Amino acid sequence: MGLYASILPLVAYAIFGTSRTLAVGPVAVLSLMTAAAAGKIAAQGSPEYLTAAILLAFLSGLILMALGVFRLGFLANFLSHPVVSGFITASGILIAASQVKHLLGISAGGHNLYEMVVQVAGKLGEVNWATVSIGLPALLFLFWVRSGLKPLLVALGMKEKAAGMLARGGPVVAVVAGILAVTFFGLADKGVRIVGEIPRGLPTLAVPGFDWALWKQLLGSAALISVIGFVESVSVAQTLAAKRRQRIDPDQELVALGAASLAAGVSGGYPVTGGFARSAVNFDAGAETPAAGAFTAVGIALAALFLTPLLYNLPQAVLAATIVVAVLSLVDFKVLSRTWSYSKRDFAAMAGTILVTLIAGVELGVTTGVLLSLVLHLYLTSKPHFAVVGQVPGTHHFRNVNRHAVVTPEHIVTIRIDESLYFANARFLEDTVYCVLGNRPDLQHLILMCPAVNHIDASGLESLEAINSRLKDAGIRLHLTEVKGPVMDRLKRTHFLEELTGKVYLNQFDAIADLDFDCAKAAIERTGKVTEPGTEPCPSQCIAGITETRG
């Protein structure tokens, strides 16, 4: 099915794709997701299992095509990079663990890491040492080829590009050596499991039958496969395009990947996407147009017609070794420490994705990562950063009073809002303003500085109206500065600006110049004072328990 998924899908992408070097086909992560989803329908290897895999490709293609036609590629943005990284790391561990049984020559199963480890541990007494004797050397050889062969060839005088291409041929050498070992030493008779007969010829074209119950069972899995495949493919395509100062069209990529998966679904394959390893080889080989994929499809079609008998004696242990080495390159634990040091929120999403994927499976792992990212985002933005700001002496700039020596008028307080105002943080803004109001009995003007406010929803508008009303009752005028055009357009469609007790200024300096001329000149006069950093109460200091200072 992997061969079938590497013929027509490549031709379909060559017709519709926008990347000149992306190589489409089966990849490890989608293979794992397909196996997990199809395994819920039927036993592995059964006709129903194969039907489910084919239908997943067809459904995935329909979903991707629909997303592309309606230009909904932005939905993939909800799958953050930490979640994708965590999912790929966990998937690499799961795939590698699933191949241990083939390296040891035992029968074991399991749907998660715990079950796999327990079952393998329980069968250690049944290890086939003939299998180990061929699988372990293949594994060690492939690990060495990945890291050591290229430097050795370069040291011997070979050009770096040629050495890199030759090093990528390591799996071919391992496969050939494994086949020869089984053939000449009769290892199949000693319990070494081989691939056996692979159907020879090209796939027949057929549209999967419509079975609503089966379609409904696989629809959720197909949607996740579509999103994961799109994110992986676009990231690879954009990386390679940037190296040649080219560009891709994400929405058109959705259509192209959808066409590729549909082609897989009607030709006996399973879901496909753009893979990094094949695309890197394609890029290094000098591919200039998507036609390179079409030529690859011709080569694979010829292999399916004439070369499959040669793989009869391929040991499953060697095949497992190539898979283990390939997928472990996806596992990156260093990214965990880097993410922890940079963003605890992203680390939580990544770690949650990894743990749930390893324990409960790939679909629940991805879903958990997305939900964690959204919940943590809402939590963080519900307590956004606000700062009391003052004027840097001798300039038109205004900075946080806790970080800079600034000039602050005694009867004016400016709060800079560093987040859009929406339902999750609207009440927080009210609490912040009322706390400042309680600590400044001499206050005459309150300015909300809004350079980072990109959106104000209905809840945010209601909070602004409540603040304006309460300040009016206290004899304080409310002003806005540096309001962005789109935000101002929305405010003009309401009664808020008519009821505003103060003014809306183009910039903060104009507001201070109008409300306190002496302070605008940054002079220390009767109405102004120089505030040393950390001496002026700011929202984060006067509202204990509501937020923490984040700078």
CA dihedral 14, 18, 22, 25 (to 10 degrees): -50
Please check whether residues 390 and 301 belong to one and the same domain. Answer: no
Residues 296-308: pLDDT tens digits?
899 999 988 998 8
Please list, in sequence order, all residues whose beta carbon lies within 8 angstroms of the beta carbon of residue 461, skipping any fewer than 6 positions away.
421, 491, 494, 496
Please check whether residues 351 and 452 belong to one and the same domain. Answer: no
**How far is it, in rounded angstroms, from Cα 52 to Cα 534?**
64
Is 548 domain-assigned? Answer: no
Please check whether residues 20 and 142 belong to one and the same domain. Answer: yes
Is 455 domain-assigned? Answer: yes
The 10 Å Cβ neighbour count of residue 172 is 10
Please check whether residues 315 and 437 belong to one and the same domain. Answer: no
Please check whether residues 283 and 416 belong to one and the same domain. Answer: no
What mean pLDDT, rounded, does the chain reach? 86
Question: Six-digit token pair at 399?
Answer: 């900075």
Please check whether residues 347 and 257 belong to one and the same domain. Answer: yes
DSSP letter, residue 333:
S
Please check whether residues 187 and 330 belong to one and the same domain. Answer: yes
Is 551 domain-assigned? Answer: no
The neighbouring-strand residues paired with 530 are: 407
Name the residue among 334, 322, 331 with its Cα closest to residue 143: 322
Please check whether residues 349 and 449 belong to one and the same domain. Answer: no
Among 314, 341, 376, residue at a domain's last position: 376
CA atoms within 13 A on the CB side of 418: 14
Please check whether residues 332 and 433 belong to one and the same domain. Answer: no
| Number of domain units in the chain | 2
> Are 86 and 64 contacting, i.e. CB atoms less than 8 angstroms apart?
no
Among 376, 407, 437, residue at a domain's last position: 376
Among 376, 402, 428, residue at a domain's last position: 376
Q: Is 503 left (phi over 0), alpha (psi -120 to 50) or beta?
A: beta
Please check whether residues 370 and 391 belong to one and the same domain. Answer: no
Please check whether residues 249 and 368 belong to one and the same domain. Answer: yes
**Which of the two residues, 125 and 290, has the higher pLDDT score?**
125
| Three-state SS at 68 | helix
Residues 390-434: pLDDT tens digits?
999 988 899 999 889 998 888 899 999 999 999 998 899 899 888
CA dihedral 229, 220, 330, 279 (to 10 degrees): -20
Is 549 domain-assigned? Answer: no
Structural domain that includes position 280:
4-376
Region 151-163: mean pLDDT is 84
Is 142 domain-assigned? Answer: yes
Q: Looking at residue 542, what is its pLDDT? A: 43
pTM beyond cutoff 0.85: no
Region 81-101: mean pLDDT is 87
Q: Looking at residue 541, what is its pLDDT? A: 43
**How far is it, in rounded angstroms, from Cα 31 to Cα 53?**
9
Q: Looking at residue 104, what is its pLDDT? A: 93
Name the residue among 254, 377, 32, 342 with its Cα closest to residue 369: 377
Is 507 domain-assigned? Answer: yes
Residues 428-479: pLDDT tens digits?
989 988 888 887 888 899 999 999 999 999 999 999 999 999 999 999 999 9
We report the CATH number of the domain holding residue 455 as 3.30.750.24
pLDDT at 521 over 80: no
The H-or-E segment that residue 130 falls in is helix 129-144
Q: Looking at residue 518, what is its pLDDT? A: 44
Is 381 domain-assigned? Answer: no
Is 550 domain-assigned? Answer: no
Please check whether residues 352 and 418 belong to one and the same domain. Answer: no
